Amino acid sequence: MVDDLKKGLEGVLVAESGLSSIDGAEGRLIYRGYTIEDLARGASYEEVVYLLWHGHLPDEDELEAFTAALNEEREVSDDVLATMERLAAADEQPMAALRTAVSMFSATEPERDADPEDLEATLRKGRRITAKIPTALAAFERYRLGEEPLDPHPDLGLAANFLYMLTGEEPSDVHAETFDQALILHADHGLNASTFTSMVIGSTMADIYSAVTGGVSALSGPLHGGANQDVMEVLKEIDESDLDHRAWVEQATEDGRRIPGFGHRVYDVKDPRAKILQERSKELADNGEDKWYNYTTTIEQYLSEEKGLAHKGIAPNVDFYSGSVYYQLGIPIDMYTPIFAMSRAGGWVGHVLEYQEDNRLIRPRARYTGPQDKTFVPLEDR
């Protein structure tokens, strides 16, 4: 038995997966053999989820049936809506509201009594979760604004429908395509903390609602999700400053501030997802306000080239550009991490299904460092 301690399980192989692969040295990400660039520029989020769950890209008939099945599951119960309203009134955090909503979805699950080993039933449950998360999130935000939630739009895809339910307006083609692309980029990313959490829960043969709720909980931690929110807060600070954005970042680094959105546990070079979102940020800037794109590109150029972070293996990650992209789409800043979860639910479900095909309870060991041979003293003598 190996006794080497690997804090954080860094570098430890715990499973085999055919869903996604990351080459951190080359800055390469693939889903089921397809590059993230090809998928982001040529597929829809629905196609990518189908790919992750079924192992191949759908043909037209398969996609039509899959999309229709998702659309049929979008509505959430009145109890979920009432809970979202109460949580909004209580000023609950959006990720906590989402965690509650996902857990509540199981109350109306028509296959709640299905055998845990019936993976087809688990797949259908995962489809329901994926379809309902956008509706619950949008309802929560509408309630925070003092407005009534909107019913899902029957003619819009998952990405465009979420923006519609959030804002009350059908998004432009550019906005819908940009958001759809962002969801694709976040759908899966190896055995990150939230995916591994979902797999651990799934390995007990707990239901998929428990596994996805666990994934949401893990993603809510600031060391995993939330960096895109931090990036946008910094960009807003720059915008409100009296300094030019170039002077601001110079001063900030001289003061020892760490700029969020740089560095990644896996990538040694620029995150391929960041490159794609940078393109979308530029397109949004060309169609509207360009200051956010100017801020991010200036910061990247200064830190990467003049401060030498690129030579140290510290480069922009996906969060560095997703924050400003979401802001340009009119999405509230504290909804960024819940949107991450909305996308990543597809990956969580896919990994749980894959692992349960050849399931083994995940049960690591810990090295005991406590005392030995202590003498027990009865309560009356302590």
Catalytic residue among 188, 264, 271, 351: 264
Is 264 among the residues known to form the active site? yes
In sequence order, the 6+-apart residues with CB closer than 8 A to the CB of 248 are: 237, 238, 241
**φ, ψ dihedrals at 344, nearest 5°:** -70, -15
Q: Are 202 and 352 in contact (CB under 8 A)?
A: yes
- CA-CA distance, 359 to 192, in Å (whole number)? 19
In the chain the first and final C-alpha atoms are separated, in Å, by: 39
Is 186 among the residues known to form the active site? no
Catalytic residue among 319, 351, 373, 381: 319
Q: Quick count: other Cβ atoms within 10 Å of Cβ 28?
A: 15
Q: Are 354 and 306 in contact (CB under 8 A)?
A: no
Q: Sort residue 33 into left (φ over 0), alpha (ψ -120 to 50) or beta.
A: left
Q: Are 341 and 133 in contact (CB under 8 A)?
A: yes
Catalytic residue set = 264, 319
